Structure 1
Amino acid sequence: MKFEKENQEDTTSMTMLTLIIIAFSGIGTFLTGYNLSALSGSVILLKKEFNLDDFWHMAIVSIGVGTAAVSALGGGYVCDLLGRRPVIMLSSAMFFIGSLILACAGAKKALLVGQIFVGFGAELEAHLASSSVDKGLTTSSAPPYMAEISPSYARGRLMAVTGACFAFGTSLSGIVAGIFSYYSWGWRCIFGVSAGPAILQFFGFLFLPESPRWLIKKERNGKAKVILEKLHGKHLAAKEYEDIMYSEVEHRRHLEQELNDSFQTGEPDRASYSAIFCYKIICWQVEASEKFYY
Structure 2
Amino acid sequence: MPASARPRSHGVLSGLLVLATAAVLSLAVPTSASAADTWTETGSDRARPLTESQGLTSVEVPAGSPNRYTGIGTIPLGLSLRGWNHVGDPDATYDGYYVEPYQEDSGGAKMYRVQAPDGSWSEYVHALSPGEALNNSWVAISPDGQWMLSGEWGTMNRLLVFPTPGVNASTSPSANLPQAATVHLDHAVSDVQGCDFSGPTTLLCSSDDPDGSLFGMTKPLLQIDLSAAPNGSDVTGHVTALRPLPLRSGCSGSFEAEGIDYDRRTGILRVIVMSPGFCVITDSKTYKFSRG
- The structure in which a higher percent of residues are strand is 2
- The structure in which a higher percent of residues are helix is 1
Return the structure number with greater relative CO, CA threshold 8 A, min gap 6.
Answer: 1
